[in-house]
Amino acid sequence: MAFGDSLTQGYGLPDAQGLVPQLDAWLKAEGIEVDLINGGVSGDTTAGGVARVDWSLTPDVDAMIVTLGGNDMLRGIDPSTARTNLRQVLETARSRDVAVLLVGMKALGNYGADYKAAFDSIYPELAQDFGTLYFENFFAGLGEDDPGQAGQYFQPDGLHPNAEGVTLIVEALGPFVVDLIKQAK
């Protein structure tokens, strides 16, 4: 299950161009057959993830990609709240023996350096605490070394990747998902 927000759900894109369909196609091209569930809900926060993780993890789900927190950051929600909520999501996955790939998000600088440091530390620390697989930054495939170049990979809202951006994200994320699938087996 790909468990997340609009970035997972495929906001603003035709169905076949969203993250889950592109990741599914990438895995198939690698010779990996899995049933990939789109558990993305546009606008979801980490609190929303906590509210739905229990019923989302049906017995047939043996692995979960967790990509939540972007909306918390955009709304300026206290990083300690986001951390607590993500911890609950990971605890639920652990209690169900579900392998997890935690996908990190990076805070923008508009809430200041302290907020950014507190938010950015959530993901690597929780991945270490829970022993989950970890992908440092959802947007890593878009050329974070030169953020000015990354604009071409976003929809006009500047928040959601376009189809080409999703393709690059999938190429970077895909090998980590392969590791998740191996771990789940």
**pLDDT values of the chain reduced to their tens digit, one per residue, 185 residues:** 999 999 999 999 999 999 999 999 999 999 999 999 999 999 999 999 999 999 999 999 999 999 999 999 999 999 999 999 999 999 999 999 999 999 999 998 899 999 999 999 999 999 999 999 999 999 999 986 555 568 899 999 989 999 999 999 999 999 999 999 999 98
Phi, psi of 182 (to 5 degrees): -65, -40
C-alpha–C-alpha distance, residues 125 and 130, integer Å: 9
pTM: predicted TM-score of the whole model, two decimal places: 0.96
Which residue out of 60, 114, 157, 179 is catalytically annotated?
157
pLDDT at 150: 85
Domain count, the chain: 1
In order of 101, 159, 163, the CA distances from 181 in angstroms are: 10, 29, 24
pLDDT at 148: 59
Q: Report the DSSP pairing between strands 99-103 and 63-67.
A: parallel
Q: Is 37 helix (H, G, I), strand (E, B) or coil?
A: coil
Which residue out of 24, 44, 120, 160 is catalytically annotated?
160
Q: Given the structure tokens 């300690």, which residue do they identify? A: 80
For residue 56, indicate whether it is catalytic: no
Q: With contact defined as beta carbons under 8 Å apart, do 7 and 19 qualify?
A: yes
Residue 116: which domain range?
2-184
- Residue 4 host element (H or E): strand 2-4
The CATH number that applies at residue 114 is: 3.40.50.1110
Which residue out of 5, 6, 24, 120 is catalytically annotated?
6
For residue 5, indicate whether it is catalytic: no
Q: Given the structure tokens 């006009």, which residue do they identify? A: 156
For residue 129, indicate whether it is catalytic: no
**Nearest Cα residue to 29 out of 184, 177, 185, 183:** 177
62: which 2 tokens? 């043996």
